[in-house]
Amino acid sequence: MGIVVAQAAGPGGFPEFVNALASGIALGAIYATLALGFVLIFKATQVVNFAHGAIAALGAYLVSYFATALNVPGRWVPGLPPTAQWFLSVVVAVAVTALIGIAIERVTIRPMIGEPLFSVAMITLGLDLVIRTVTNDFMNNQVRGLGDPFGSQVIEIGFFRIAQTQVVTIVVALLLMVYLAWFFRTRMGVAMRATAFDQEAAMAQGIDVGKVFAVAWAIGAGLAAIGGIFSSVFPRGAGVSPFTFAIAFRAFPAVVIGGLDSIVGAIVGGMLVGVAEVLAGTYLTQKFLGQGFAGIVPWLFMMLVLLIKPYGLFGTEEVRRV
Amino acid sequence: MRGRPNLFTSYEEEMRLFPTTTKRVMLVVALVLAVLLPLGQLPGLRFLGDSDWLIIIDRALIFGIAALGLNLLTGVSGQVSLGHSFFMAVGAYTAVVLGADAGRTVWGLGLPMWIWLPAAGIVAAVLGILVAPTAVRVRGLYLAFVTLGLVFIGLHLWRSVEAVAGKPGTGRPWPALELALWKGDPIISFASAGPWFGIELSAQAKSYFFFLFLLIVFALLAKNLMRTRPGRAWAAIRDRDIAAEVMGVNMFRWKTQAFAVSSFYAGVAGALFAAFLGRVIPESWDLLLAVEFIAIILIGGAGTITGTLLGTVFVVLTPRIVEAVTFWMAEELANQGTFAWLADLFIRKSPDDLLGFVSTDAAGPGLSIFQLNVVLFGVLIIVFLIAEPLGLYGIWIRVRNYWKGWPFTY
């Protein structure tokens, strides 16, 4: 699998550690973005979205399709610089992914309201197969570049090296967190919090729970798409490929470590997993651990955390009654 | 009590493995048909005796064993496991290390099958027991993620430990399905053609009988487990774990046993699967394989033996049927036959063909047959969960009840 270990530049020692840490935080930002979308969907609709990785890959593919193959919407806006055109394509791709998210919720999740969590989770597992296979087929099972304007430029300050995309990733992730914090204070956000607390009570208060579900899936799928885009640019990959979903899959341990229903947990879990993975990629390269050991560090980390805290670091402990 | 099949005069009678005459008759009929099948004597379905069909059916029998195991864990005791392919891999690699001959870079002890086959199950069961404490501690959806993690950790292991699994992308040969006393000539071989009791049989037909025998043993064992103490404890845990605990069901003990039994089934099935194929690459024990088993028990009907077997036949045979239909459509289109218009909607003829989405050529654009099957699995899981949560078994129950009440509707 195409696991790109972050550039382990420098002579080792402290500079190497700092660079790895920065790279880890950037990867953590990707995981946090993906995890945020996942947790948002879980909190609002009580659905464990196993198709999150597939939706992320689909979003990244749409960027590649809109930006490089169609040049939508850039072809209708003459005179715009290519960079602006690319960002417009990203906006369109994320919006389309959000619409797909709404469609998924309406067609496959809505009929399952009231069914056991496990059944709904299995539905998303089926969705994962469908979306992932169809996306891979669109990609023709090849790596497709996103045509992003960042390329592989690296910012160097003394020994400190960080890729331009990584800075963008961190900034975007921070902006998204601020946006979510703001969103939860809007009318819709409050309605979503109420729905997460108790669907029936929220309904009785006049909240349109169906609309809340749709919005949650739209934002969740949009966040997945953004995470998918950053998973398929330098230094994580040369473009979106049939293996992009695997990067997105590693956001699952991040979610579980943070606790399935905790927004803060998603951010902390994402960061922890990202840093742990890159540090493992830098330092745990002994031969007996095998090639690409860093790729399973998130899963091992998850098992360890679950053994100590069965509901993750910030997850709500289920109060059990007979 | 003739004519009143549902009148039971004692508890033992009601709890028998096959309580009614109908069930006993159907069992005998099924057994007779199952014996006729590989001989190519099944009326109307003689082609099933061909070796290319028998390979698929053999595969269904092996998958049946693994699915029965997952059914006990997920269907009966309610513990979601996405890691069934991991336990299958453990069984398969135990088998290859014990059974295959040592190579230049790979380990092998060259022991006979009566050692490596049970050992495959036992080692997998031990690993299941090791995972179980996590399962006792974490519940529900968190457990799904733990078992999902097992698949990825397993994949990394198989790719890394070349002494066991062989090189990534090529794998290593598995020992043949032959029963020998020790390292000498085999007494019974299921891997080569030859006569049995004067009837000439292909290798596939011989392994068919071997797998059928094992499947029957495992199915009866599972059925027996379900109706006795373990099954009741598991069902109690599934239905309401805390209530079960209050009633004195030892959660740790029964969850561990559920994992052990389920992994034993998976380990044996994994060993058989790899030995039957002869060579397996480390990458095959992936999430897709695990999801295939989830699909089997969901489509068949979770928590029932009959449903699991129905689901296995359905899931394993569907790809073959899809393949046949796709090639038939491509042919129909080429010959401009009666159904060419229908085939036109499905088959992709050129890269800018908007309607067609299936391609008979794996490399080109359009869903290949393999991809089409994966999509179909996904769609079937979704459709069954939404429309018929009890699966094929539920459909059968409804058909049965209709005839039971006939001519009344209730």
What pLDDT was estimated at residue A11?
54
Tokens of B285: 């024990």
CA B77 to centroid of chain Cα atoms: 18
| Nearest by CB: A127 against B156, B240, B382 | B382
Mean pLDDT of the region B148-170: 87
Query: For residues B351 and A284, which has the higher predicted lDDT (pLDDT)?
Result: A284
Residues of B within 8 A of A111 (CB-CB) are 386
Tell me which amino acid residue B31 is.
L
In this structure, the strands spanning B199-201 and B194-196 are: antiparallel
Domain boundaries, chain B: 47-285, 304-410
d(CA A291, CA A288): 9
Query: In this model, does residue B112 exceed pLDDT 80?
Result: yes
Helix then strand count (H, E) for chain A reads: 12, 2
**Which of B318, B381, B384, B388 to probe by mutation at the A interface, max A CB count within 10 Å?**
B381
Q: Which of B189-198, B201-210, B218-227 has the lowest mean pLDDT?
A: B189-198
Q: Which helix (H) or strand (E) holds B380?
A: helix B369-387
d(CA B70, CA B79): 9
| Nearest by CB: A296 against B141, B152, B382 | B152
What pLDDT was estimated at residue A310?
85
Greatest CA separation for chain B: 72
Task: State residue B377 phi and psi, 5-degree precision.
Answer: -55, -50
d(CA A101, CA A49): 11
Interface contact flag, A290 B161, Cβ < 8 Å: yes
d(CA B341, CA B370): 24
The domain made up of A13-308 has a fold known as ABC transporter involved in vitamin B12 uptake, BtuC (1.10.3470)
Interface contact flag, B149 A320, Cβ < 8 Å: no
A255, A254, A195: which is closest to A48 by C-alpha? Answer: A255
Interface contact flag, B367 A137, Cβ < 8 Å: yes
What pLDDT was estimated at residue B269?
97
pLDDT band at residue B164 under the 50/70/90 scheme:
confident
pLDDT band at residue B16 under the 50/70/90 scheme:
confident
**Locate tokens 């493995």: which residue?**
B17
Interface contact flag, A123 B386, Cβ < 8 Å: yes
pLDDT in tens, chain A (322 residues): 334 444 444 456 888 888 889 999 999 999 999 999 999 999 898 899 999 999 999 999 999 988 888 877 878 877 788 888 888 899 999 999 999 999 999 999 999 888 888 888 889 999 999 999 989 888 877 888 888 888 778 888 888 888 888 999 999 999 999 999 999 999 999 999 999 888 889 999 999 999 999 999 999 999 999 999 999 888 887 888 888 888 778 889 999 999 888 889 999 999 999 999 999 988 887 777 877 888 899 999 998 898 888 888 888 887 766 5
Interface contact B366, partner A, CB < 8 A: yes
CA angle B172, B176, B182 (to 5 degrees): 115
Residues B217 and B210: beta-carbon distance below 8 Å:
no
pLDDT band at residue B219 under the 50/70/90 scheme:
very high
DSSP B347-360: B--STT-SS--B-S
Residue B198, classified by CB atoms within 10 Å of its CB into exposed (0-12), middle (13-18) or buried (19+), is exposed
Mean pLDDT of the region B337-353: 70
Residues of B within 8 A of A48 (CB-CB) are 141, 144
- Cβ-based neighbours of B257, under 8 Å, separated by 6 or more: B230
Q: A321: nearest CA in chain B?
A: B242
CA B63 to centroid of chain Cα atoms: 2
Interface contact flag, A289 B160, Cβ < 8 Å: yes
Residues of B within 8 A of A119 (CB-CB) are 385, 389
| Nearest by CB: A129 against B141, B368, B378 | B378
B143, B141, B83: which is closest to B286 by C-alpha? Answer: B83
Interface contact flag, B379 A320, Cβ < 8 Å: no
Residues A269 and A298: beta-carbon distance below 8 Å:
no
Give whole-number Cα distances, A267 to A51, A218, A227, in Å.
20, 19, 13
CA B70 to centroid of chain Cα atoms: 9
Residues B276 and B191: beta-carbon distance below 8 Å:
no
Q: B387: nearest CA in chain A?
A: A111
d(CA B410, CA B408): 6
Q: Which of A18-27, A309-318, B245-254, B275-284 has the lowest mean pLDDT?
A: A309-318
d(CA A282, CA A297): 12
What pLDDT was estimated at residue A189?
93
CA distance B269 to chain A (A): 23
d(CA A93, CA A138): 15
A294, A237, A231, A282: which is closest to A20 by C-alpha? Answer: A282
Interface contact flag, B386 A108, Cβ < 8 Å: yes
**Locate tokens 């204070």: which residue?**
A185
Residues of B within 8 A of A39 (CB-CB) are none
Query: In this model, does residue B224 exceed pLDDT 80?
Result: yes
Q: What share of chain B is helix, strand, coil (3-state, %, to 5)?
A: 65, 5, 30
Residues B271 and B117: beta-carbon distance below 8 Å:
yes
Tokens of A30: 């990707």
Q: What share of chain A is helix, strand, coil (3-state, %, to 5)?
A: 70, 5, 30
Interface contact flag, A136 B145, Cβ < 8 Å: no
**Locate tokens 């669907």: which residue?**
A199
| Ranges A144-153, B169-178, B266-275, most confident | B266-275
pLDDT digits (tens, 9 = 90+) for B41-88: 777 777 777 888 889 999 999 999 999 999 999 999 988 889 999 999
Domain boundaries, chain A: 13-308
Interface contact flag, B381 A296, Cβ < 8 Å: no
What pLDDT was estimated at residue A7?
46
Give whole-number Cα distances, A198 to A45, A194, A204, A316, A321, in Å.
10, 6, 10, 14, 17
Interface contact flag, A129 B240, Cβ < 8 Å: no
CA distance B33 to chain A (A): 34
Query: In this model, does residue B175 exceed pLDDT 80?
Result: yes
Interface contact flag, B149 A302, Cβ < 8 Å: yes
**Locate tokens 């739209």: which residue?**
A218
Question: Which residues share a beta bridge with B201?
Answer: B194
Alpha helix positions (H), B138-250: 141-160, 162-165, 203-227, 229-239, 241-246
d(CA A64, CA A138): 11
Tokens of B295: 């699909």
Between chain A and chain B, the number of residue pairs with CB atoms below 8 A apart is 127
ipTM: 0.87
CA distance A222 to chain B (A): 23
